Structure 1
Amino acid sequence: MKLSLHSEWRIFYGAICFALGLALYYTLPFDLPVSIPAMVFVTMLAFQRPRYRKANPAYISVILFAAGILYACLRIEYADHHFIEETVYFSGEAIIEDIQERENAPVRLTLENLQSLSDETMKFNKVRLFVRTKIPEYLLAGDKIRFSAVLERPQGKLSPTGYDFARAAYFDGVQASGYVTTDIERAQFDNHNGASIGRVRQEIAEKLVRLIPGEAGGLAAALIVGRRSYLSDDAIDNLRASGLAHMLAISGLHMGLFVGAAFFMFEFVFLFVPIASPNINGRKLAAIFAWIAATGYLLLSGMSVATIRAFVIATIAIVAILLDRRVVSLRSIAIAAWAILIISPHAVMSAGFQMSFAATIALVCVYEIINERRRIKYEQDQPVFRTDQSFITRFGQNIGRFIGYTSLTTVIAQIAILPIALFHFQSVAVLGLFSNLVAVPVLLFIVVPFGFLSAVLGILGLEALSLPFFVWGLEQILDIAAFVADVEWSRVFMHPIHDYIFIMSLLVGCGLILIRHNRYVSSILFAMYLMMPLTFYIEPPSLIITQSGHGFVFQSKNGQFTYYNLRLNSFAADNYKKQWGLGPHVDTKRGQRSCDDYACSYDILGDRTAINVKHFAALYEACVAGDIVIILRKWVNYCRSNNLVIIKEQLATEGPLFIYENDNQNNLIWVNDKKNRRPWSGAE
């Protein structure tokens, strides 16, 4: 059976192989010497015989896979990043790079150029700190502050398949995280030392919040400058539950609407402004000015992966207009992927990169098929649209066509990101089709046009003419999200899925995109793409022990989520609930404990006891009575127990600990195992 492939499969296939090489190297538990992948890559290139007119695709794919491993190895080898080795107390000055404020949460500061006031050798390039103390009013990015803080290594993963915060911090150049211990003093206002863009973004966001009261102002800040910190937790959770969270990420939809609005505005202006040279095409000149506007929007948006991808595709579309070529194709998406992978190779591990490209690729390919069928009908003299109908009939058909295409776009995007959403978030928005069908037209026809018009009129001080319509559209989107989120089954939670199932699902999806004109093969691949992440999942642990040694999480025999010493609505608690396929609002139970100056005893799993020993005098009794005993390393030889003994020091550095019970045997999974000897893993 001969398979027909997409006409632009080569560049797309090459990007997939390169990305797989990057992903493999980032997931390895150890670093490779640069010489090994370099030797493999050079050897494979040497054996590629140039006398063949057509290169072997399988061989080329292996070469690109090896190139991805080599490139990731080189970027880590020559990266000037390192974490602090131990917890330190810092007192000094720093420049604010970014400020994030959230409702019912401490302020998070990203600081750069830290300099200790007492020790000139204590310097840090970049750290992230949580602030629960007093901060000055109107503190902005670029200001220099004076403070004291506790600095420690950035936290790693919370679960075996969870997001690796330490790896993300490493590639962001963050050397430490921690918390501020004193009130913050402003030492100097903005010194324009590299933080001007962040300051402009913050000033625009705060102006929007002051100008637009309530949650609508926070949504405006998220849509325009990519700052979500002004939205409440409830609003963000509603948007996620309703399948509208993509509106918070400045991606292809926002960039496309912005560039389109800028392009048509400049094209309209050039129609009435005479151009000096008759050889200058007003449409192409408008495309150039639209690209300049898109560049400014990219800088203001925070330059996330989705925004960069959308900007690269918009740039390719503008170049296509200048060269009179096809605007959007699979080739342009592949070029955008190559650009991001070269600039930020670690982005391949992020959910934003994966979901953004998965949805965009699926949409482009499906609409290519639709356009191809319409072209065939046109060539066969079968009119795609009838012209002998009344205005009302055509208008009704256009409305129906818009609803149909909006529904189709939503369904395609939801299906494309299904394995990625299950792997990273363990949840799917069931009513996403309905909410997008209602909210996307509001965004397209009200929020974006009147928002763009308000920005233009704001230069003349006339924004009051269009701002009420902009605010009304934002409020409608929030109301739609809240209405859908109130439905009990609006979001379904699943158990985590295995890494290899996730990778296989993505490869099946790539095959589904590349293979054309074979309904039998495409149907099989489509079924596999949907069923694999829904069928094969990781069994939940019997017990989770947090790094402190005093936090326990398990599901009781009656199915209730039970916990000790854990903030109920914290990010960690929500993450642990997902291990059992539970949502953040399920019924929970706080376990009963017994503590004194010598030890703490916890009732776990219905009929067992875990004891955290604090004093040597309680060691013997704990080792006899406890099913799980948590002690210091120096006491190990004094605890002759056949039960499970856990070392506090190991738990603090390699935890959390996931315990799986199989046939009365305990299988221990250390989430941040020091056997993973990577620069961000904390291995000595």
Structure 2
Amino acid sequence: MATDSLLEEDGTAPDAIGERPGLFVRSFAWLVGRLAAERERWALWSPVGVGGGVALYFALPLEPPLWLGPGVAGGAILLLWALRRRLGAVVTVVALLAVALGFAVAQTRTALVAAPILTRDLGPTTVTGRVLSVERQPAGARMILGGLTIDRLKPEATPGRVRLRLPAKFKPPEAGTVIRVRAMLHPPAPPAEPGAFDFQRRAFFQGFGAVGFVLGTPEVVDAPPVSGWDAVSVAFDRARAVIAERVQRAIPDPVEASVTAALLNGEEVAIPEPMMDAFRNSGLAHLLSISGLHVGIAAGIVFWVVRALLALVPWIALRWPIKKIAAAFGIVSALAYTMLVGAPVPTVRSVLSTGLIMAAVILDRSPISMRLVAFAAIVTIVMEPEGMLGPSFQMSFAAVAALIAAFEAINPTLARWRQALGWVGGRLLDLGTIAFTSVVATLATTPYSLFHFQQVAFYGVLSNMVAIPVTSVWVMPCSLLVYLLMPFGLEEPALIAMNWGDRLVIWTAEFTAGLPGATAFIPAMPTAGIVAVSLGGLWLLIWTGRWRLLGLLPILWGMATPLFAHRPDVLVSGDGAVMAVRGTDGHLILSGKTEGHVAETWQRRDGHIEAPGVWPDAGVTLDGRMRCDVLGCVYAVDGRTIALLRAPDALVEDCVLADVVITATPARGCRAPLVIDRWRLRREGAQALYVSRSGVRVESVRDVRGDRPWTRTR
């Protein structure tokens, strides 16, 4: 039955359903009525369907056949034609088609970027390749090489790209040159624990199949110059190097210089870690990541300046569409700015949104609308489906969609207030609008900050009320002046002026980050929690009626999930070098080194930032639950005994007495009920153990990721 047949003209359920319909019938009729009343918003769910298909693809434990996504999409199109006269069926099939298209896009993207990935440590070895990009860091540089030849690797096993760290004692080579260098290579690291950030997947989609570090001075090799699109990319990379050099020459303070350079060339990695922590803890880290704010401000300034200059010439202003010309200049400036800062993923999404806004101006359409956000989301997902899983995509679109929905709701009220208030009242209203914008954006992005970083900055609204106006009114205009003057070598006064604004932003970050209770860390949010928050948020933002408030229920449930999440009782790294057990106070106690990526990830996902405790060399600890000697430790909890070995000599005894044996060495012949040894760790990656009186549940990285093209074991 078509959906329309269930409704009267006013969108309500007809009496023909029954004199006393049951609860289910009444609920269904109410739901159909609400959906029919908001049919103009149905199209806004299309990117949700496409994104759902992408999420479904990445959630699978095995790689599906390549025909699956396109096949289902084709079948949905045929079904759509067959059922075109039935509205309810059409809506259902369109939703299926959107999911199938998202699934097919993700499959296609994976097939296109697939390249060899290193499966074992290699080196020292000689690597020859062209320098595609160089990122300057406080302790040296990081460069990406392509067109590789690697000793002891066959051509069919050679990665397409590698990323190498270059110590500060070596001068970074110029982008575009071909170099030969001795290096140690490693496979991209898998997640530090099940559910943690998957660097291996990101490396796969970014095209590099190995990482490592340089052992000697790079040797420049004679080779033909770079050509094609690579030549353009190299030219912009060289421009970024020139910008960094000019900034360091004009600004003596290295920290201030690194922040200024980051805003000009996008090299955020050059900022010292203490300063990055201040920006993160103050809620201002987004100012250092070239994204929508910067691209929008830059394009907006160019739009305003070009329009004002053209308006000064009456002959042009009266005959030419100066507003549309200015919008075209805004698009060009956004594209140039994106290329100059290295075209990172957030900036590409931002320039797309900015370009759509300017295009709407050219076409005489409303430049700010939820439909624009939906279109930008679909295009972005199609361009880089894997980016949908990252914090940048999620936080940027959450903030933009929330702001548009919020201003859709309050714009009539703001318009009345603005008419009633005088000049002073209008300026106060502008300040209030800035505060409102910061609050909405902070609320919209907080769930994703908690999910990806386990962190929330409580003074983010305060710091953004200071830093965003300074960035918009002072820093970004000065940065555009720097770009204009730099080709002539006259940029130093503009750089110094820009740095004055940067100093205020830095002071704001340090001040708010130093306030009591500036940040809080919570345990990692389960995937189900962020899915519930996202679906509830979409329901709240897309619909316009009061029933949109139903979206608050899944949001509240999802936000509460970290409070009830059960963190592992025992953790083992993928190589077995680091192990941890949970103490009586709920904190982790590590087997040795408390620094490094693995330990930091475990602590952060636990909701802690302080240094963890360390196992004793010998003796009893944890209120008698753990006893150690030179051969290892035995951890007893909930009636289960877990042996964590330091040396293989303890295998014979522990394999008889323990319920679980964990060792970084092979444990052939061990008859303990559960054995985690070198071979299991190599097959499955890092392990998380949950201990209860009913038994020990084990979850591995492989259990969560499955066997996919980007998953590699040693």
Tell me, in whole angstroms, the C-alpha distance in 2 between the residues paired with 1:517 and 1:450.
44
Q: What is aligned with 1:319? A: 359
Deviation readout 1:341-360 (Å, 9 max, x if unpaired): 11112111111111111101
Aligned length, in residue pairs: 660
Alignment of 1:9 onto 2:44: no
1:534 to 552, 557, 560: 560
Q: What is aligned with 1:612? A: 645
Q: What is aligned with 2:26? A: none
Question: Are residues 42 and 323 of structure 1, via their aligned partners in 2, closer, same or farther at CA, if it must alter by over 3 Å?
Answer: closer
Tell me, in whole angstroms, the C-alpha distance in 2 between the residues paired with 1:44 and 1:247.
43
Deviation readout 1:138-169 (Å, 9 max, x if unpaired): 53322322212233321121222222111111
Tell me, in whole angstroms, the C-alpha distance in 2 between the residues paired with 1:275 and 1:146.
60
Secondary structure of residue in 1 paired with 2:180: strand
Q: CA deviation at 1:281?
A: 2.3
Tell me, in whole angstroms, the C-alpha distance in 2 between the residues paired with 1:31 and 1:139.
39
Instruction: Indicate conservation of the 8 Å contact 1:554/1:561, yes or no.
Output: yes
Q: What is aligned with 1:65? A: 99
Q: CA deviation at 1:173?
A: 1.4
Question: Are residues 470 and 398 of structure 1, via their aligned partners in 2, closer, same or farther at CA, if it must alter by over 3 Å?
Answer: farther
Q: CA deviation at 1:665?
A: 1.7
Alignment of 1:368 onto 2:408: yes
Deviation readout 1:498-539 (Å, 9 max, x if unpaired): 212211211111110111131xx3334235424422345521
Q: What is aligned with 1:203? A: 242
Question: Are residues 466 and 500 of structure 1, via their aligned partners in 2, closer, same or farther at CA, if it must alter by over 3 Å?
Answer: same
Moved more, 13-22 or 599-608: 599-608
Q: What is aligned with 1:380? A: none
Secondary structure of residue in 2 paired with 1:229: helix
Question: Are residues 599 and 99 of structure 1, via their aligned partners in 2, closer, same or farther at CA, if it must alter by over 3 Å?
Answer: farther
Alignment of 1:347 onto 2:387: yes
Tell me, in whole angstroms, the C-alpha distance in 1 between the residues paired with 2:93 and 2:153.
56
Moved more, 273-282 or 143-152: 273-282
Alignment of 1:661 onto 2:691: yes
1:516 to 540, 544, 549: 544
Instruction: Indicate conservation of the 8 Å contact 1:675/1:683, yes or no.
Output: no
For 1:47-446, list aligned pairs within 5 A: 47-48=79-80, 49=82, 51-52=84-85, 54=87, 56-89=90-123, 90-103=125-138, 107-116=141-150, 121=155, 123-132=158-167, 136-187=170-221, 191-192=225-226, 194=230, 195-212=234-251, 213-272=253-312, 279-373=319-413, 377=416, 384-386=418-420, 389=422, 394=423, 396-446=424-474
Q: What is aligned with 1:471? A: 499
Q: CA deviation at 1:64?
A: 0.9
Tell me, in whole angstroms, the C-alpha distance in 1 between the residues paired with 2:468 and 2:108.
43
**Kindly, what percent of the aligned residue pairs are identical?**
26
With normalisation by structure 1, the TM-score equals 0.88
Instruction: Indicate conservation of the 8 Å contact 1:91/1:117, yes or no.
Output: yes
Which ranges in structure 2 are unaligned for 5 or more consecutive residues? 1-29, 620-628
Q: CA deviation at 1:491?
A: 1.1
Tell me, in whole angstroms, the C-alpha distance in 2 between the residues paired with 1:450 and 1:487.
30
Structure 2 letter corresponding to 1:30: L
For 1:448-527, list aligned pairs within 5 A: 448-459=476-487, 461-518=489-546, 521-527=547-553
Q: What is aligned with 1:580? A: 606
Moved more, 299-308 or 528-537: 528-537
Q: What is aligned with 2:23? A: none
Q: CA deviation at 1:137?
A: 2.0
Instruction: Indicate conservation of the 8 Å contact 2:310/2:316, yes or no.
Output: no
Tell me, in whole angstroms, the C-alpha distance in 1 between the residues paired with 2:414 and 2:83.
41
Tell me, in whole angstroms, the C-alpha distance in 2 between the residues paired with 1:281 and 1:39.
47
Instruction: Indicate conservation of the 8 Å contact 1:224/1:301, yes or no.
Output: yes
Tell me, in whole angstroms, the C-alpha distance in 1 between the residues paired with 2:666 and 2:316.
85
Question: Are residues 490 and 7 of structure 1, via their aligned partners in 2, closer, same or farther at CA, if it must alter by over 3 Å?
Answer: farther
Secondary structure of residue in 2 paired with 1:636: coil
Secondary structure of residue in 2 paired with 1:579: helix
Structure 1 letter corresponding to 2:469: P
Tell me, in whole angstroms, the C-alpha distance in 2 between the residues paired with 1:340 and 1:468.
37
Deviation readout 1:368-401 (Å, 9 max, x if unpaired): 22224456x5xxxxx74247x5xxxx1x323312
Q: CA deviation at 1:275?
A: 6.4
Tell me, in whole angstroms, the C-alpha distance in 1 between the residues paired with 2:566 and 2:576.
23
Structure 2 letter corresponding to 1:315: G
Instruction: Indicate conservation of the 8 Å contact 2:283/2:464, yes or no.
Output: yes
The answer to which structure has the higher helix fraction is 2
Instruction: Indicate conservation of the 8 Å contact 1:222/1:228, yes or no.
Output: yes
Deviation readout 1:226-264 (Å, 9 max, x if unpaired): 211221111111111111111122222111110111112
Deviation readout 1:557-601 (Å, 9 max, x if unpaired): 134442223342x3332210133221x2x2532222369xx9742
Structure 1 letter corresponding to 2:248: V
Structure 1 letter corresponding to 2:131: I
